[in-house]
Amino acid sequence: MLRASLPRCRSRRLLWLPAICLLVLSVCGPLPLYAARTGNRDVQRLMVQAYRYYTGFGVPRSYARALGYYRQAAELGDAEAQFIVAGMYYRGLGTDENRREAFRWFLRAAEQGRYTAESLYIIGSMFLRGNGVPQNYMEAEKWLDLAVRKGSVPAMNDLAFICYNGLTGKKDFKRALSLYRRAALQGDIQAQYNVGLMYAGGIGTPVDTVRAYAWYSLAASQGNTTASIARNALMPAMNWNDLNRAQALSVRLFREVEQNREKRKAAERN
């Protein structure tokens, strides 16, 4: 169990590995113009038929039949078809939900360069947890690192967990703190608590009660009761000047998180 690998000093609650997110991938059939972009006529035919049944274009919509055609194209080595098949298994479209099959096809597509931040995270997360695939921390780190580069917040948390616990051979507290901070600024509540805990304990950074209070307070404001308890426990050792600085910092962090949230919403609309 990964939880058993957590450090017993200073940070017992830090980095319990969260369950894999139920990501909703936006997987849809490719446009009919796909046929003009590939030289394999069998793949062209299969992809066009799959698209028709996926969208109900000229035929009754049938995800099951679409999946059948996409899977045939995927078996022929088409990366786009492999990616779509993975998404349909992951969401249970035209078939029962099957994370193991989803992983297999996401991995094959990614190895050919077809991926998203979400699919990279799924691959890395499943390697990390040994969920449907043998547990492999080196593979997990590789795929999670790629997902982080694409901006995946859950991947930041998982990769930070690997770095914190030294699962690939050496603990890297500074990188763990950096990754948690990135996730925290994107609004991840558990990451905000973890950043506070690392500042409070001087893990990967000098002890900084002001920053610890600010991050705890930010997480507490979003409903993290453990962060609220930790924040209140710091107060007796703080003077009024430090407390005022900490509260001002927490407001600045809150505003930065809100700005980042608005940027993500704007990017999604575009």
DSSP string, 121-165: HHHHHHHHHTSSS---HHHHHHHHHHHHHTT-HHHHHHHHHHHHH
Question: Is there a domain that residue 254 lies in?
Answer: yes
Question: Is there a domain that residue 126 lies in?
Answer: no
Note every long-range contact of 250-257, with CB atoms under 8 Å and residues 24 or more positions apart, other chains counting. 250/213, 250/214, 250/215, 250/217, 250/218, 250/221, 253/185, 253/214, 253/215, 253/218, 254/218, 254/221, 256/185, 257/184, 257/185, 257/186, 257/187, 257/218
Pair 247, 169 in one domain: yes
pLDDT score recorded for residue 17:
60
Look up residue 124 and give its two tokens.
């890395």
Pair 201, 86 in one domain: no
Pair 85, 206 in one domain: no
Pair 107, 156 in one domain: no
Please tell me the total number of residues recorded for the chain in this structure.
270
Question: Is there a domain that residue 26 lies in?
Answer: no
Question: Is there a domain that residue 122 lies in?
Answer: no
Pair 150, 214 in one domain: yes
Pair 181, 95 in one domain: no
Distance, CA of 201 to CA of 217 (rounded, Å): 16
pLDDT score recorded for residue 15:
54
List, run by run, the mean pLDDT of 10-residue segments along the chain (270 residues): 34 48 40 49 94 95 97 96 97 96 97 97 97 95 98 97 97 98 97 98 98 98 96 96 98 97 87
Pair 191, 68 in one domain: no
Distance, CA of 148 to CA of 156 (rounded, Å): 6
Residue 246 belongs to what domain range?
2-20+138-269
pTM of the model: 0.84
Pair 91, 193 in one domain: no
Quote the DSSP letter at residue 202.
T
